[in-house]
Amino acid sequence: METRAGDPGAFAHFDLHRVPSPAFVVDAAAVRRNLAILKDVRDRSGIRMLAALKAFSMWALGPTIAAYLDGVCASGLYEARLGREEYAAAGAGEVATYCAGYKAEDLPEICALSDHVIFNSPGQHARFRPILDTARAQGHRFDVGLRINPLHAEGEVSKYDPCQPHSRLGFPVDQLRAEHLDGVDGIHFHSLCEQDFVPLARTWAALEPSIKGHFGQLKWLNFGGGHHITRADYQREDLIAFLRQVKAASGLELYLEPGEAIALDAGILVGEILDVIDNGMPVAVTDISATCHMPDVIEAPYRPAMLHEVPGGPVVRLGGPSCLAGDIIGDFALPVPAEPGQRIAFLDQAHYSMVKTNTFNGVPLPAIWLWDSETDELREVRRFDYADFKNRLS
């Protein structure tokens, strides 16, 4: 899998020694630029736009995101709480919560926090209707949604495709009947991953014939996430025209849930070379771990873009400090000598990397810093220490 981002932007001139290592550095100005693009698409298409917390949960920027978009989408109780507390406080923004499998004990609070509670199957919705009725009797107001599986695969990597064979995500659309939508206000589907407009158009062409007969029962349609709207070559005018057409034809409110698009090319992960050996090629150990800090490098897998990599230069294999043999970031032509103490950085690491970090093997978590490339203001948002590692254990 190849990343389609990796523009250094203002980081091309950032001094990597201004922060400790390892550290995530997020450019607030780049996030604002992405948000302005998303707001423009929202305003011109007449839809609602929610930020997907699963991709980027840097809640220090919650007020900034809330100023541009309509709220957040959450993947369960904890994200719903975070969304309500930091992005949509005092009812100023929406919280739409979807979970593949709710727990009964979580649902009362989810209903209190959420504007949309989206179920993965009609069976789960039916099983929990008494809880929903109780929540409404207590004064909570929320819509109910149903996630469907369009049964139309567009993903580049099967394991990241919600429409892969035998997927657990969403109710197969070829099984959908009118009675499944009893008490349901909207349909949700999500089938893209870092993709442009054309796969969305193909997905809708495959899906619309199966659901248009149900439009009269519904209030809204949610097209999920995976839309690379802020990428420079994304077909934004085509998307706007498409959304206007669907909105007019269906008579429904439309939602998009971008996640990666909010933080695209807005953050780097700074690291330091700790040691170098020769084992048939130069091999460098860094304080950045693919396993702990960039797990998608292994899980996708993909090769992250390096800041100022030198095309055609001598190649060095980079790996993390953990004992896992597979903790390999990749082979790179470094912009600095392959020597202990040298700093390096990987591009486009604000989304997904930050939310997936872990402390396997006792590897420390990277600090989180917020930089504004327009003002050059730089501040530490969070530093992690031994207590963070210990408190996750028992």
Beta bridge partners of 144: 117
Q: Which of 224, 300, 303, 308 has its CA nearest to residue 258?
A: 224
- Name the region of 8 (left: φ>0; alpha: ψ -120 to 50; beta: rest): alpha
DSSP 151-187: -----SSGGG-TTSTT--SSEEGGG--GGGGTT--EE
Query: Quick one: pLDDT at residue 240?
Result: 98
For the segment 109-139, what is each residue's pLDDT rounded down to a tens digit?
A: 999 999 999 999 999 999 999 999 999 999 9
Q: Which of 367, 358, 351, 368 has its CA nearest to residue 392?
A: 358
Query: Quick one: pLDDT at residue 157?
Result: 80
For residue 134, the tally of other CB atoms under 10 A from its CB is 13
Residue holding tokens 């519904």?
218
| 173, 149 contact by CB (below 8 A) | yes
Measured distance CA(316)–CA(374) in Å, rounded: 34
> Which residues of the chain carry a pLDDT beneath 70?
1-5, 90-91
Report pTM. Answer: 0.96
Give the chain's domains with CATH numbers. Answer: 9-25+266-390 (2.40.37.10), 46-263 (3.20.20.10)
Helix (H) or strand (E) holding 27: strand 23-27
Query: Quick one: pLDDT at residue 392?
Result: 93
Helices (H), the chain: 28-45, 62-68, 77-82, 107-113, 122-127, 129-137, 197-211, 236-250, 260-263, 290-293, 296-299, 353-356, 386-390
Query: Quick one: pLDDT at residue 90?
Result: 57
